Amino acid sequence: MKQRAQFQDAAKARRWARRLSVRVEKILAANPRADRDNIRHTLILLEQPPLERLQRSLIRGRATAIFRK
Amino acid sequence: MVVGLSAATLQGAPVVTQDVDLWFENLGEQKISRALQEVGAAYVPPSAINPPMLAGAGAELFDIVIRMDGLGTFADEIKKCVEIPLGRQKLKVLSLEQVLASKMAANRPKDKLTIPVLRDALAATRSVKRRAKKK
């Protein structure tokens, strides 16, 4: 039963990744000079709530600042 | 209004930031000092050696901005801002287009690093908005 659920999750994840790739390619076709990773990361972030995006950005930004000190 | 890279990240741009830049129309407003008091912070007016600042534990993440390179006045920019729901409130945030315009105008080495990322994020968010409109 657990294994079946995992298969379903994996299939769902693969479908999501395929949909994401299609959208990235469409945006790149319209913006050939854009960076693939920037587009992909933006699309992934847009699936999250705004405050979570800000929180992640601050955690990473402040951690980087600590390493630089 | 939230400005800078925090504004960009709230709108989906994959950038990192160390603080939340806030642009106020009038720093002397009572509501600001009341809000700061509630979180144990205070406004420190500018001096010869310091820009205006927020001080105190509750204000560690926040910075004050008194002008934005390449943009209009606060009154002009607030009309073009985006509103992001935050609990029962709506947070006023400088639009991604205007964050990009300000970074291009400021053109400091650290801004130059973020310009291509913001440009790509804008392309992606515009595409998402167009897609949502079609549905």
How many CA atoms does the CB half-sphere of A45 hold within 13 Å?
Answer: 27
Enclosing domain of residue B76:
2-134
Total number of domains constituting chain A: 1
The answer to whether the Cβ–Cβ distance between A27 and B11 falls below 8 Å is no
CA distance B100 to B112: 10
Secondary-structure breakdown of chain B: helix, strand, coil percentages, each rounded to the nearest 5 = 45, 20, 35
CA distance A49 to B23: 23
* C-alpha B132: how far from chain center: 25
The answer to whether the Cβ–Cβ distance between A50 and B15 falls below 8 Å is no
Give the position of tokens 């709108």.
B11
**B21, B65 in Cβ contact below 8 A?**
yes
Enclosing domain of residue A63:
2-68
Kindly state the tokens that stand for A65: 């600042």
Domain with residue B46: its CATH number is 3.30.460
Closest chain B C-alpha to A57 CA, distance in angstroms: 4
**Partners of residue A35 in chain B, C-beta under 8 Å:** 116-117, 120
CA distance B118 to B105: 14
- For A5-50, the pLDDT digits (tens) are 777 889 999 999 999 999 999 999 999 999 999 999 999 999 999 9
The answer to whether the Cβ–Cβ distance between A26 and B127 falls below 8 Å is yes
Whether the complex's predicted ipTM is more than 0.90 is answered with no
- For B45-68, the pLDDT digits (tens) are 888 888 888 999 888 899 999 889
User: Any residues with CB less than 8 A from the CB of A47 and at least 6 apart, and which?
Assistant: none
Interface residues of B toward A, Cβ cutoff 8 Å, are 5-6, 9-20, 61, 84, 86, 116-117, 119-121, 123-125, 127-128
Total number of domains constituting chain B: 1
Residue numbers in chain B where pLDDT is lower than 70? none
Residue B59's H or E segment, with its range, is none
Let me know the angle formed at the C-alpha of B6 by B124 and A19, rounded to the nearest 5 degrees.
Answer: 25
A52 confidence band (pLDDT: 50, 70, 90)? very high
